[in-house]
Amino acid sequence: MKKLFALLLTLAMVLSLAACGGKEEPAPDTQEPSGTEEPTETAITTVVDGVLTVATSPDFAPYEFYAVDESGNANLAGFDMALAQYIADYLGLELDVIPMDFDGVLSEVTAGNVDLGMAGLSPDPDRMEAMDFSDIYYMGGQSLVVTQDNKDKWSALEDLNDPSLSIGAQLGSIQYDLAVENTPDANIVQLAKVTDVVSELLGGKLDAGFIETVVAESYAKNYPDLYIAFDVPYEVEGSSIGVVKNNEALLAGVNEAIAAALADGSMDNFVAEANELASGDIIEGLVD
């Protein structure tokens, strides 16, 4: 059954690639049924019929955050959100995004209450029992962040491995693993939101925090007191989408949509737009 599906899918991909010369945006919805052939589209099942339900954690600009518009309304924004809409459109589904803390994203995808987790998720091998991962759609690095006051206090990452220091990371994130690897002797503090890591750091309760580099850069624009002190080596590279376990048709469809968004330039636009928007009036964390 799986093999048959894989075959059909490969065929569908080859056909749609051939149809558009591999350049233009494939439009699976508008494909003409070709004569008497079997339809190549496999029906995708989702938790709510006709809807793509996505969990996210909007404390993570430029991936996901709230952009405040002229009337003062906070709207979900960021390149994960633009990609979510692209994927939903690609698959012919309505999009429903549910904001929550990051550890909630992991548990909702694991429980199968949502279809996807889109939250700058690293395809961490430790999570692979719990969920499937899409192909990588973005590459980011990892950093250790301090305050401007402490800019010159430590000359290497190793120097922060000190029991007198408190170092923050988001609960459930790979940044927590990075803290355990790099600063095991420090007092490692896990917080629900990246926003909490930043505010405790600025408030002097933490000495440093592990944060993804693009996200740290984005926070640093709005909070100039933040200083990105060190690059942190990491093993799990790139960001992917957490897909509810064993929904092979959905996983395949998501990968196809990601490939299209990378090929047709959409993803680059989403990143540029998100960075632009993230330097304006934003809220990170949960608004409701």
Q: Give residue for tokens 């549910």.
A: 98
Q: How far is the CB of 42 from ligand ARG (least distance, A)?
A: 29
Return the closest-CA partner of residue 93 out of 288, 265, 249: 249
Q: Are 125 and 236 in contact (CB under 8 A)?
A: yes
Q: Indicate which single residue of 40, 53, 122, 195 sits in contact with ligand ARG (rule: CB under 6 A).
A: 122
Q: Are 56 and 98 in contact (CB under 8 A)?
A: yes
**93 versus 198: smaller Cβ distance to ligand ARG:** 198
Cis peptide before 28 (omega within 30 of 0): no
- Please report which helix (H) or strand (E) contains residue 144, including its range: strand 142-147
Question: In whole angstroms, what separates CA 186 from the centre of its chain?
Answer: 28
Site for ligand ARG in 188-217 (CB under 6 A): 194, 212
Q: Give CA angle at 102 (282, 44), nearest 5°.
A: 100
**28 versus 104: smaller Cβ distance to ligand ARG:** 104
Q: How far is the CB of 188 from ligand ARG (least distance, A)?
A: 15
204: left (phi over 0), alpha (psi -120 to 50) or beta: left
Q: Indicate which single residue of 81, 83, 88, 119 sits in contact with ligand ARG (rule: CB under 6 A).
A: 119
Contacts of 61 (CB under 8 A, 6+ apart): 78, 215, 218, 219, 274, 278, 282, 284
Q: How far is the CB of 118 from ligand ARG (least distance, A)?
A: 9
* Segment lying near ligand ARG (by CB under 6 A), choices 54-62, 131-139, 153-161, 180-188: 54-62
Q: Are 144 and 151 in contact (CB under 8 A)?
A: no
120 binds ligand ARG (CB under 6 A): yes
DSSP string computed for 3-52: HHHHHHHHHHHHHHHHHTTTTSPP-GGGPPP-TTSPP-PPPPP-SBTTEE
169 binds ligand ARG (CB under 6 A): no
- Site string (212-251) toward ligand ARG, x via CB under 6 A: x---------------------------------------
Q: Give the count of beta carbons closer than 10 Å to the beta carbon of residue 114.
A: 26
Q: Indicate which single residue of 59, 115, 132, 217 sits in contact with ligand ARG (rule: CB under 6 A).
A: 59
**79 versus 154: smaller Cβ distance to ligand ARG:** 79
Q: Indicate which single residue of 121, 198, 226, 241 sits in contact with ligand ARG (rule: CB under 6 A).
A: 121
57 binds ligand ARG (CB under 6 A): yes
**74 versus 263: smaller Cβ distance to ligand ARG:** 74
- Site string (254-283) toward ligand ARG, x via CB under 6 A: ------------------------------
Q: Are 17 and 26 in contact (CB under 8 A)?
A: yes
Q: Indicate which single residue of 65, 79, 102, 210 sits in contact with ligand ARG (rule: CB under 6 A).
A: 102
Q: Indicate which single residue of 93, 157, 174, 260 sits in contact with ligand ARG (rule: CB under 6 A).
A: 174
Which chain residues interact with ligand ARG by CB under 6 A? 57, 59-60, 63-64, 102, 119-122, 170, 173-175, 194, 212
